[in-house]
Amino acid sequence: MGTGDLDGLRIVGGHPALDLANTVAPRGPDGTDYLTDPAALLTWAKLVGLLSGDEAAEVAEAWAAAPVSAETARRDTLTLRALIDPVLDGRDLDALTWRWTEAIARSALHPAGEGRAVLHVGTEAAHRIPDRLADALVDLVRHADRSRLRACPRCGFLFLDRSRNASRRWCSMDDCGTAVKSSRLTERRRNAARPTSI
């Protein structure tokens, strides 16, 4: 497996499915794909909280025992990533349903006390990442406040605006927000320095 290098990748989506969409930066055909190998996928899954450290170790062990399963998991993850925009537009729900049904088949209910149960998605370590991502995308479609879903005008990253007054414009104020404000300031200074005609 590779090194799992994710230097420069920003986690700003506020939801694992949106963070998956943002693994191409900037978004679009000319962006850099950060999920270039299974090691990068595993590192990213831990980074976004999809896996605990112990779960990541189980996945790494399963992939080492069956190396083809690592590339299968990465390929399935990229397929899910390609579904995000169409699903958010209300298309390809059948494809997502099929992926999610596969994930649920590899899931289990565990007792949580007081007659309740907890659903554990991804009981098979080799498939855990794409299974949890399929479940996360279904969760996004079913439960996220769509009026708070935004795309950064600079880089295209998707994010949930969780600000109190729903006024967040950029994926990150430290990156895109600062760049946009800086370019506006430069433009204002440039315009102010131009001689005015009499």
Q: Whose CA is closest to 160, among 176, 174, 140, 179?
A: 140
pLDDT at 68 (0 to 100): 98
Question: 113: domain CATH number?
Answer: 1.10.3300.10
Q: How confident is the model at residue 7 (pLDDT cuts 50, 70, 90)?
A: confident
149 phi and psi, to 5 degrees? Answer: -80, 125
Return the ∠ at Cα 61 (arms to 58 and 63), rounded to 5°.
Answer: 110
Structural domains in the chain (count) = 1
Q: Does some domain include residue 1? A: no
User: What is the residue range of 117's domain?
Assistant: 16-193
- Say what the pTM is: 0.85
Q: Bridge partners of 160?
A: 149
Residues 6+ apart with CB under 8 A from 183: none
Q: Does some domain include residue 198? A: no
Which tokens is 175 given? Answer: 């990156």
CB 153, CB 171: distance < 8 Å:
no
- Predicted confidence (pLDDT) per residue in 132-181, tens digit: 999 999 999 999 999 999 999 988 999 999 888 877 777 875 667 554 45
